[in-house]
A = this chain, B = another copy of it.
Amino acid sequence: MTLDAVARRAGVSLATASRALNGTTRVREDLRSRVRAAADQLGYIPNAHAQALASASNNTVGLICHDVGDPYFAAIAAGVMRAAAEKDLLVMLASTFREPAREIAYVSTLRAQRARAILLIGSGFQDRTWERALAAELEPYVRAGGRVAVVSRHRSLRVDAVLPENRGGASALARALLDLGHREFAVLTGPPSLTTVSDRLAGFRDELARAGVTLAPERIVRGPFTREGGYTAARALLARGERPTCVFAVTDVMAVGALAAFRERGVRVPEDISLAGFDDIPLVRELSPPLTTVALPLTAMGQEVMALALREPRGPRSRVLRMGGEVVLRASVAPPPPRPARADGGAH
C-alpha cells in the first residue's frame, strides 16, 4: 500500500510513480497508465502525512468556534464547509465550549497540523490576558505563512475579518421600533466586553438617544449567549417589576429564551411586550410569534471568511468585510399597548 509497492508493480521507479499520479511533470503515457493500474489494483491510498511532510504543504484548514450545536455557529460552519468543498480543503473543526484555554490549545494544535488557515468564529473572551495569549499564538503562525481570518472578533487581533453590521443593524432596529411608537425599552445582553455585545448595545442605545429616549441601567440585563441566558435574563427583568413595551435581545438564541420566559409568565408577545432579536438564525421565523430580528447572512459569512483566508494578502493592512444588518420585521413586534396601568415595583 505504499507508493513504493505501486512503483515496483508497475515496473517503474518511485519517482516516476509519484509523478505519474500527481501529474506534476510529463510522464510517458504508457508508464502513467501502468502506474495508475497498479495503484488501482493495490488499492493504493497515499499517506497524507508523508505528502505533507515532503511537500511542506497540505490541504487542511482549521475552524474554531464556541459550539457547533448553536444554530449561529452551525450556519456559519455550513458556509465554511461549502467553501472548503469547492476548494478541496479538509476542515478540522474545534469547539471550545466557551473555554478560553481550550481555544488557545486548539490554535496550537492546528499549528502543529500545519493547517493552511485558521478561522476563528465568534466573539473573543472577556479576559484580556487570554486575548493576548491568543495573539501571541497566532502571530508566529502568520509569520510562518499561515492565514488567519475571523468572524466578529475582538479588534485587538489584526487579521482579516468578516464583521457583522452590528452597530448599524442595531441602530436600524431601534429606528424601526421607535417608529412603531415604543419609548420604554429593555435589553437582554451578553458579556459586556465582547465587541458583538458592545457594538449592538451601542448602536441601539445611540439611536434611542438620538430620539431622546434613554435606556435605564436597570433595564439592561446580562446573561450568557444561550437560550438559558435569555430565559433567566427575561425572568430577572420581570421579577424586578420592569414592564418595558419592547425588549431587544442581542442574539436570537437569547430571544428564544426570553420568549419562553414571557410565555411562562403570561406576558403576551407582542400584545404586552414586543420582542426583537439579532442574527436571523434559521427557524426563528417559525417561532410563535415569528421573531423580528436583524438579518445576518450567516452561511455567506462562512463562505466569505474562508475566501478571505485564502485570498493572497496584498498589503500589511487587514481586510474587513462588513455584512448583513437589515431589519426583518415580523409579528413579534407591534405598536406598544395603549398606556398600560403602571405596574409599580414597590410601595413607596
By a beta-carbon cutoff of 8 Å, the part of chain A in contact with chain B is 1, 43, 45-50, 52-53, 58, 60, 63, 67-71, 74-75, 77-79, 81-82, 85, 90-95, 97, 102, 108-109, 111-114, 140, 144, 227, 256, 259-260, 282-283, 286-290, 299
Query: With the chains together, A113 CA to B75 CA distance in Å?
Result: 26
Query: With the chains together, A53 CA to B50 CA distance in Å?
Result: 6
6 A–B contacts, CB within 8 A, in A order: A45-B108, A49-B114, A67-B78, A69-B282, A78-B95, A90-B94
Query: With the chains together, A49 CA to B58 CA distance in Å?
Result: 10
Whether B71 contacts A77 by the Cβ 8 Å rule is no
Query: With the chains together, A102 CA to B85 CA distance in Å?
Result: 9
Q: Within the complex, which residue of B50, B53, B60, B74 is in contact with A47, where a contact is CB–CB below 8 Å? A: B53
Q: Within the complex, which residue of B71, B85, B95, B140 is in contact with A85, where a contact is CB–CB below 8 Å? A: B95
Q: Which residues of B contact A46 (CB under 8 A)?
A: 112
From A52, A69, A78, A282, residue with most partner B Cβ within 10 Å: A69
Whether A92 contacts B95 by the Cβ 8 Å rule is no
Q: Which residues of B contact A256 (CB under 8 A)?
A: 283, 286
Query: With the chains together, A286 CA to B97 CA distance in Å?
Result: 24
Whether B113 contacts A90 by the Cβ 8 Å rule is yes
From A48, A67, A82, residue with most partner B Cβ within 10 Å: A48
What is the chain B residue whose CB lies nearest that of A69? B78
Q: Which residues of B contact A75 (CB under 8 A)?
A: 69
**Cβ distance A262 to chain B, nearest Cβ, rounded Å:** 11
Query: With the chains together, A79 CA to B95 CA distance in Å?
Result: 10
Q: Which 5 A-B residue pairs are closest in the complex by CB-CB distance?
A: A288-B288, A69-B78, A74-B74, A81-B95, A49-B52
Q: Which residues of B contact A67 (CB under 8 A)?
A: 78, 81
Q: Which residues of B contact A299 (CB under 8 A)?
A: 69
Whether B114 contacts A48 by the Cβ 8 Å rule is yes
Q: Which residues of B contact A69 (CB under 8 A)?
A: 74-75, 77-79, 282, 299
Q: Within the complex, which residue of B45, B58, B90, B95 is in contact with A82, where a contact is CB–CB below 8 Å? A: B95
Query: With the chains together, A290 CA to B264 CA distance in Å?
Result: 13
What is the chain B residue whose CB lies nearest that of A65? B81
**Cβ distance A257 to chain B, nearest Cβ, rounded Å:** 9
Whether A90 contacts B90 by the Cβ 8 Å rule is no
Whether A93 contacts B92 by the Cβ 8 Å rule is yes
What is the chain B residue whose CB lies nearest that of A77? B68
Q: Which residues of B contact A50 (CB under 8 A)?
A: 49, 53
Q: Which residues of B contact A47 (CB under 8 A)?
A: 53, 112, 114
Q: Within the complex, which residue of B81, B140, B283 is in contact with A43, where a contact is CB–CB below 8 Å? A: B140
Query: With the chains together, A45 CA to B90 CA distance in Å?
Result: 21
Query: With the chains together, A43 CA to B91 CA distance in Å?
Result: 25
Query: With the chains together, A52 CA to B58 CA distance in Å?
Result: 14
Q: Which residues of B contact A288 (CB under 8 A)?
A: 286-290
What is the chain B residue whose CB lies nearest that of A252? B283
**Cβ distance A38 to chain B, nearest Cβ, rounded Å:** 16
Known: A85-B102, A108-B45. A68 touches B60 (CB 8 A): no
- A60-B92, A68-B81 known; 16 new pairs, CB 8 Å cut-off, are A45-B108, A45-B112, A47-B112, A49-B52, A49-B58, A68-B74, A69-B75, A71-B71, A71-B282, A77-B93, A81-B93, A93-B93, A283-B283, A286-B287, A287-B287, A288-B290
